[in-house]
């Protein structure tokens, strides 16, 4: 089976209603990354100094050396930036989530005490603020376990949320493997939480952000002033708030760093944004753990048989009748590169149609001739497929007058004599009267035109049938 693991569909065109508490139009969630003292540093046993997310333009690692300036910028975050942010958020009565690097927390006991006294959630940000991409799975699994152990020792509670940031392709799987996390945030792929099936377990994912994030003060392209940051946050909030007012509430994550937004000239923009959102009604500012609890209670995981995970026999049993009496289409579709994007009506429809469209003309003709006449003898004898019976009945073709039945019988015979296949129309798009009108109009077309139109109608019928059984 050729299967594509990435999920490019998500919730599709109709995301669930978040149902945030008290009818909130948007959930604005602030994350403060606490990394100071956990970054790359030879004092920590690392091979080189840190080079990421600081106010040093174009910083590079210094192998086997301490980078005094880099270290002091990180130290500013712990010594001054953290306390400025602590005063801002406690003064605004907004609880936040800390992404805490375990070794950084261990080196900052006063800050940890202040986080706890403020009622902030302290989620895990890994053992050290270093890259995981080159770690072997066994090494990363051990680092995750040690991060949990040290975090619990330092804070008094095990973390319920996780965000690595500098993760590997294995990180989410390895963290979910632990089984003790209410959520993982190592994704940036949605405006709402969602459930991910990992090794048979339902893991809640609460996506994070790298764009509504003060890290862009330290990268290019990025923010050149606090006003840039404020304008971006305001614009994002305004769009999401409007969507919430329109009946589709979302989540807005905002990422912060003590050593970046904690500088006075940058913090003014954050304060301005907080004042702005507090001037709006129905804005919820939770910790991430509260979002996780709400989503688990309000939107528990939903299970259904996913087409992309079916073996060939099951796939054909489920979808072999979508194209009338033509299971070979489903057999071929199963060999395509299916993935999560195909676990819906539109996905399976696309896969089946690809096989129908690339079939020979003779094979497609076989599909057309497998369709019954409208209101014909098979219908009268009760020998239609269940799908065809339902479709024709829905258009009232099971309740024809004698005159209407005679007209359909003559039109069917004339159409087949001229074109070599039955008149096919997606009856769910029509009424009895419009079907009759289309019959009279199309019977005069040449065969090539009508062959193409019949194929389009077959695909439309398949679409309706799949919408009856799949999301």
Dump pLDDT digits (tens) for 229-250: 999 999 999 999 999 999 999 9
d(CA 254, CA 215): 11
The whole-number pLDDT of residue 140 equals 96
pLDDT at 52 over 90: no
Nearest to 106 by CA among 32, 34, 30: 34
- Find out whether 435 and 395 touch, Cβ atoms under 8 Å: yes
At residue 403 the predicted structure's pLDDT band, cuts being 50, 70 and 90, is confident
Question: What is the average per-residue pLDDT within 318-324?
Answer: 96
The whole-number pLDDT of residue 206 equals 98
Question: What is the average per-residue pLDDT within 416-422?
Answer: 95
**Model confidence over 100-157: pLDDT tens digits?**
999 999 999 999 999 999 999 999 999 998 889 999 999 999 999 999 999 999 999 9
The whole-number pLDDT of residue 158 equals 97
The whole-number pLDDT of residue 395 equals 57
pLDDT at 281 over 80: yes
pLDDT at 375 over 70: no
At residue 378 the predicted structure's pLDDT band, cuts being 50, 70 and 90, is very low
Calculate what percentage of the chain has a pLDDT beyond 90: 76
At residue 401 the predicted structure's pLDDT band, cuts being 50, 70 and 90, is confident
At residue 394 the predicted structure's pLDDT band, cuts being 50, 70 and 90, is low
Supply the DSSP symbol for 448: H
At residue 399 the predicted structure's pLDDT band, cuts being 50, 70 and 90, is low
Q: Would you please indicate which residues are annotated as catalytic (active-site) residues?
A: 371
Query: Which has more pLDDT, 383 or 61?
Result: 61
Residues present in the chain in total: 471
**Which helix (H) or strand (E) is 31 found in, with range?**
strand 26-34
d(CA 118, CA 115): 5
Record the tokens describing residue 205, joined without a space.
């994912």
Total-model pTM: 0.89
Calculate what percentage of the chain has a pLDDT beyond 70: 95
Query: Which has more pLDDT, 48 or 335?
Result: 335
The whole-number pLDDT of residue 380 equals 47
Angle value at C-alpha 409, between 405 and 410, nearest 5 degrees: 120
Query: Which has more pLDDT, 211 or 389?
Result: 211
161 three-state secondary structure? strand
The whole-number pLDDT of residue 396 equals 62
Across the chain, mean pLDDT equals 92
At residue 398 the predicted structure's pLDDT band, cuts being 50, 70 and 90, is low
**Model confidence over 420-467: pLDDT tens digits?**
999 999 988 988 889 889 989 999 999 999 999 999 999 999 999 999
DSSP for 174-199? HHHHH---SEE------SS-EEEEET
d(CA 108, CA 157): 16
The whole-number pLDDT of residue 280 equals 98
Q: What's the Rg (C-alpha) of the chain?
A: 30
d(CA 175, CA 186): 10
pLDDT at 11 over 80: yes
Record the tokens describing residue 223, joined without a space.
């923010």
Question: What is the average per-residue pLDDT within 401-414?
Answer: 83
At residue 388 the predicted structure's pLDDT band, cuts being 50, 70 and 90, is low
């Amino acid at each position: 089976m050729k299967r594509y693991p990435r999920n490019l569909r998500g919730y599709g065109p109709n995301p669930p209603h978040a149902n945030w508490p008290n009818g909130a139009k948007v959930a604005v969630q602030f994350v403060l990354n606490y990394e100071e003292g956990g970054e790359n540093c030879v004092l920590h046993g690392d091979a080189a100094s840190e080079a990421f997310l600081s106010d040093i333009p174009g910083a590079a690692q210094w192998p086997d050396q301490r980078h005094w300036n880099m270290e002091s910028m990180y130290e500013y975050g712990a010594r001054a930036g953290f306390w400025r942010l602590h005063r801002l958020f406690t003064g605004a009565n907004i609880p936040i989530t800390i992404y805490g690097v375990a070794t950084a927390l261990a080196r900052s006991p006063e800050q940890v005490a202040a986080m706890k006294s403020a009622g902030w959630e302290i989620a895990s940000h890994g053992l050290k603020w270093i890259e995981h991409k080159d770690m072997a799975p066994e090494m990363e699994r051990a680092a995750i376990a040690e991060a949990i152990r040290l975090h619990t020792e330092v804070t008094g509670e095990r973390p319920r949320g996780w965000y690595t940031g500098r993760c590997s392709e294995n990180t989410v799987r390895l963290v979910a493997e632990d089984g003790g996390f209410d959520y993982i945030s190592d994704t940036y792929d949605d405006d709402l939480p969602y459930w991910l099936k990992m090794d048979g377990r339902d893991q809640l994912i609460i996506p994070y952000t790298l764009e509504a994030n003060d890290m862009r003060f330290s990268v290019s392209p990025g923010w050149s002033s606090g006003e840039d940051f404020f304008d971006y946050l305001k614009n994002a909030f305004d769009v999401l708030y409007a969507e919430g007012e329109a009946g589709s509430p979302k989540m807005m994550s905002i990422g912060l760093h003590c050593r970046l937004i904690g500088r006075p000239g940058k913090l003014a923009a954050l304060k301005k944004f907080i004042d702005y959102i507090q001037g709006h009604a129905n804005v919820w500012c939770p910790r991430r753990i509260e979002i996780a609890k709400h989503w688990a209670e309000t939107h528990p995981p939903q299970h259904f048989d996913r087409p992309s995970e079916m073996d060939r026999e099951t796939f054909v049993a489920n979808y072999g009748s979508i194209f009338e009496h033509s299971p070979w289409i489903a057999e071929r579709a199963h060999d395509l590169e299916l993935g999560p994007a195909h676990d819906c009506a539109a996905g399976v429809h696309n896969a089946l149609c690809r096989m129908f469209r690339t079939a020979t003309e003779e094979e497609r003709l076989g599909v057309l001739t497998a369709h019954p006449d409208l209101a014909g003898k098979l219908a009268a004898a009760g020998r239609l497929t269940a799908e065809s019976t339902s479709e024709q009945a829905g258009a009232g073709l099971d309740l024809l007058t004698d005159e209407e039945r005679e007209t359909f019988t003559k039109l069917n015979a004339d159409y087949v004599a001229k074109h070599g296949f039955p008149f096919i129309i997606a009856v769910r798009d029509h009424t009895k009267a419009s079907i009759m009108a289309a019959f009279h109009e199309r019977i005069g077309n040449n065969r090539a035109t009508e062959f193409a139109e019949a194929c389009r109608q077959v695909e439309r019928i398949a679409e309706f049938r799949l919408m009856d059984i799949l999301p």
